[in-house]
Amino acid sequence: MKKTTTRLADGRELIYYDSADAVVRDAVDLRPLEPVSTDSDLRADRLLGDTVAIASHRQGRTYHPPADECPLCPSREGRLSEIPASDYEVAVFQNRFPSLTGDKGRCEVVCFTSDHDASFASLSPAGARLVLDVWTDRTQDLSQMPGVVQVYPFENRGEEIGVTLGHPHGQIYGYPFVTPRTSLMLRNAAEHLQRTGRNLFDDVVADELADGRRIVLEGEHWTAFVPYAAHWPYEVHLYPKRRVPDLLGLDEDARAEFPGIYLELLRRFDRIFGEGQPPTPYISGWHQAPFTAADRRDFALHLELFTIRRTSGKLKFLAGSESGMSAFVNDVPPESAAQRLREVASN
């Protein structure tokens, strides 16, 4: 993988990732951009113990532009975009409308492909492997940045999720704090270790394998299952069989198998609700150990993939119980969801 780092006209960092070393990336951003002006503020909620980012400048971010004005497509004559090159494989740049900035974290955009009409599921195995290597490289780089405590690579897919740009892309957040979800995992893992002497993540995966009803897909190096207490109608957790704290810990065998496993999961998601249905909206993200964790080796890297669509034409809205009290009610039994995800396997 070749990595070429440059700057956009307003000073933001842009990185091209290519599979071939011979590729030259020397295009210059010719847009007359003013320096990015942000006003992010982190505020602690004393009752809940979590942190809220206040980022009013995001109100002006680009919203559903026409395809021929997409800011994530390659630049062309008469239409300059965030990507100065006329083509690219994977490109990463600092978000112009970040939720986290400066010593309060970092937000990056990851463009998975230059093809506006593609999706992650339509990538080739080589393309998906390149993105995995990019996620890993960005985790490494962000871990060295002052103030970054935890790195979360994720993809929001679909207008129902709130995606404002149709081009296939994801984001990476470098948080300056440990997120509430991860804090809960760490606390429960520590309590489980003290009570049983065993690793909680290992026990969760072992219990799913022993039960078998919620296993969706299993490879030599990865296991995918619908969790016993799934919060979302269709939710899959993907774990490497060898526990590692983050993407940097994956060995070559796991990296080589990942594209086939993950692409199959995404393609099954698009088939859940039958032929002729629009693409399934989803959120997919890597959960990695915070760099400040007391014993990072006890945390298990895993990917969580879920959709807010509960059946054809109907969404799972987070209403009173979920939004008001964080007490989820799932409309689809996890065993039924797993069975459906097995039924729509590729031939």
| pLDDT single digits (tens) 199-212 | 999 999 999 999 99
Q: What is the mean pLDDT of residues 60-73?
A: 77
Looking at 41-50, 52-61, 162-171, 193-202, which range is the least confident one? Answer: 52-61
In this structure, are 202 and 96 located in the same domain? Answer: no
Does pLDDT of 168 surpass 80?
yes
Q: What is the mean pLDDT of residues 292-306?
A: 94
Q: What is the mean pLDDT of residues 293-314?
A: 93
Predicted confidence band of residue 41 (pLDDT cuts 50, 70, 90): confident
CA distance 104 to 53: 9
In this structure, are 251 and 327 located in the same domain? Answer: yes
Provide, rounded to the nearest whole percent, the portion of the chain with pLDDT above 70.
Answer: 97
In this structure, are 42 and 159 located in the same domain? Answer: yes
**Tokens, residue 256:** 């080589």
Boundary-marking domain end, from 175, 203, 234: 175
Boundary-marking domain end, from 175, 192, 212: 175
In this structure, are 294 and 322 located in the same domain? Answer: yes
pLDDT tens-digit profile of 93-111?
Answer: 999 989 888 788 999 999 9
Mean pLDDT of the chain: 94
In this structure, are 58 and 148 located in the same domain? Answer: yes
**Tokens, residue 315:** 């969404």
In this structure, are 254 and 300 located in the same domain? Answer: yes
What would you report as the CA-atom Rg of the chain, rounded to the nearest whole angstrom? Answer: 20
Q: What is this structure's pTM?
A: 0.94
pLDDT tens-digit profile of 114-148?
Answer: 999 999 999 999 999 999 999 999 999 999 998 89
Task: State the total domains in the chain.
Answer: 2
In this structure, are 101 and 228 located in the same domain? Answer: no
In this structure, are 324 and 188 located in the same domain? Answer: yes
CA distance 109 to 139: 13
Is 169 annotated in the active site?
A: yes
Domain that holds residue 246: 180-343
Provide, rounded to the nearest whole percent, the portion of the chain with pLDDT above 90.
Answer: 81
User: Nearest-CA neighbor of 210 among 235, 228, 192?
Assistant: 228
In this structure, are 167 and 252 located in the same domain? Answer: no
Boundary-marking domain end, from 175, 193, 218: 175
In this structure, are 271 and 209 located in the same domain? Answer: yes
Does pLDDT of 333 surpass 80?
yes
User: Nearest-CA neighbor of 342 among 258, 272, 263?
Assistant: 272
User: Nearest-CA neighbor of 54 among 43, 66, 67, 63?
Assistant: 43
Q: Considering the candidates 169, 192, 237, 287, report the single residue annotated as catalytic.
A: 169
In this structure, are 247 and 106 located in the same domain? Answer: no
In this structure, are 48 and 106 located in the same domain? Answer: yes
User: Nearest-CA neighbor of 3 among 11, 12, 13, 15?
Assistant: 15
- Choose from 201-205, 276-280, 323-327 the range with maximum mean pLDDT: 201-205
* CATH number, residue 156: 3.30.428.10
Please spell the DSSP secondary structure of 6-59, one letter per residue.
EE-TTS-EEEEEES-TT----------PPPP---EEEEE-TTT--EEEEEGGGG
